[in-house]
Chains A and B, each alone.
Chain A
Amino acid sequence: MARLDSLDRQLIDLYQRGLPVCERPFAAMAERLEASEDQVIRRLERLQSSGVLSRVGPVFDHARAGASLLAAVAAPEPARDAVAEAINRAPGVNHNYLREHDFNLWFVMTAPDEAVLEARLDALEAELEREILRLPMLEGFHIDLGFPIPWHELEAP
């Protein structure tokens, strides 16, 4: 993993949420961290380019920001990678994981609205010639506060 110093860690610990909405948010963060605005910006750039951050910005509520759905397909070897690539090519797919189950490919598809989402899933199902398990969220119990990083465990040998 990328080497992260205390400024990097503080940024991650303090600002997975609550990034200030003011004219110069990175200056406001820098003040709290006793760093300079320029330092904060360069750290964020580096964390982003090294892949530690996917971005700095808003996380939209799936249920309200449009339509989205968790879906699964059973694609045993040797078809698995080709099916995963076909899923990635479909519009609106933002997560796609291989998991330990007969339904082994799990992806999230998003769309501007339900009708477009259903049409995209129908098209993908026809292309794959495999059943797509459609598992919309019916109720969310968790508030997304970001995830506390267990730094001590990451350092364990």
Chain B
Amino acid sequence: MNARQPALACAEPLAERRLRALVEQGLPLVPRPWQALAEQCGLSEAQVMACMARWQAEGLVKRLGLVVRHRALGIAANAMVVWDVPDAEVAELGRRLAAEPAVTLCYRRPRRLPRWPYNLFCMIHGTRRERVLAALDAIIEGHALQAIPHRVLFSLKAYRQRGGRYTAEERP
């Protein structure tokens, strides 16, 4: 089956939307979490599990598991590194940076000239600023990026950090 095709559509699209709104907040920590979710959204446990499996197969769900707050663990240094890469090279460099173990996210985004010339973004997390900067230096060296303008935007404070909620009934 093509993973991008919606497979066996859920028989209950409304219930499925409710499930998504619920599960975005996290699983109930009970022995049968799928059953507990099923009861709340009017599906069977088997339907809920089938939905989760399908969402993962389709790529709607990237991963299923523990969502860690890095700061709470002491991984306090978090740098967004932005690069101004020639358009013809950006995809190739993006793939190379994404393969670096230190890089936790890597995206191409539009420039907004004249105020924002950067078109490639990557995140580097670490326990300390010096370690993040050392990892960045190694990447610049290893990929010969000395000529590519970049900026390092460390985060100083999190005003909010929580999971994405995409469904309409998202705000309490």
Q: Looking at chain B, what size class is its interface with the partner chain?
A: 35 or more
Within 8 A of B (CB), among A23-50: 23-27, 37, 41, 44-45, 47-48, 50
Closest to A52 in B: B72
Is B164 within 8 A of A68, CB to CB? yes
A135 to B153, CA, bound (A): 15
Minimum Cβ distance to chain B for residue A85 (Å): 8
Partner of B105, one of A23, A37, A144: A144
- B85 in the interface (beta carbon within 8 A): no
A53 to B29, CA, bound (A): 13
Is A21 within 8 A of B31, CB to CB? no
How many residues of chain A have a CB within 8 Å of chain B? 87
Residues of A within 8 A of B56 (CB): 21, 58
Is B64 within 8 A of A57, CB to CB? yes
Closest to A151 in B: B73
In terms of DSSP, what is the predominant structure of the interface of chain B?
A: mixed
Is B170 within 8 A of A53, CB to CB? no
Residues of B within 8 A of A23 (CB): 32, 34-35, 45, 49
Within 8 A of A (CB), among B1-47: 20, 23-27, 29-35, 45
Residues of A within 8 A of B97 (CB): 141
Minimum Cβ distance to chain A for residue B153 (Å): 4
A141 to B121, CA, bound (A): 10
Minimum Cβ distance to chain B for residue A32 (Å): 13
- A121 in the interface (beta carbon within 8 A): no
Closest to B53 in A: A21
- B109 in the interface (beta carbon within 8 A): yes
- A129 in the interface (beta carbon within 8 A): no
Residues of A within 8 A of B61 (CB): 58-61
Partner of B63, one of A16, A54, A94: A16
Partner of A112, one of B105, B121, B167: B167
Closest to A38 in B: B31
Partner of B60, one of A61, A85, A105, A112: A61
Residues of A within 8 A of B152 (CB): 100
Closest to B115 in A: A133
Is A96 within 8 A of B26, CB to CB? no
8 interchain pairs, CB-CB under 8 A: A52-B69, A52-B72, A58-B24, A95-B161, A97-B158, A138-B110, A141-B91, A142-B107
Query: Which B residues are within 8 Å of any A CB, using their own CB?
Result: 20, 23-27, 29-35, 45, 49, 52-53, 55-56, 58-70, 72-75, 78, 80, 91, 94-95, 97-98, 101, 103-110, 112, 115-116, 121-122, 125-128, 131, 151-168, 170-171
Given A12-B66, A57-B27, A100-B152, list of 14 further CB < 8 A pairs? A1-B73, A26-B29, A48-B26, A61-B62, A62-B164, A64-B58, A95-B161, A136-B110, A139-B108, A140-B107, A141-B107, A143-B62, A149-B75, A156-B127
Closest 5 CB pairs of A and B: A55-B26, A66-B166, A141-B98, A17-B63, A141-B94
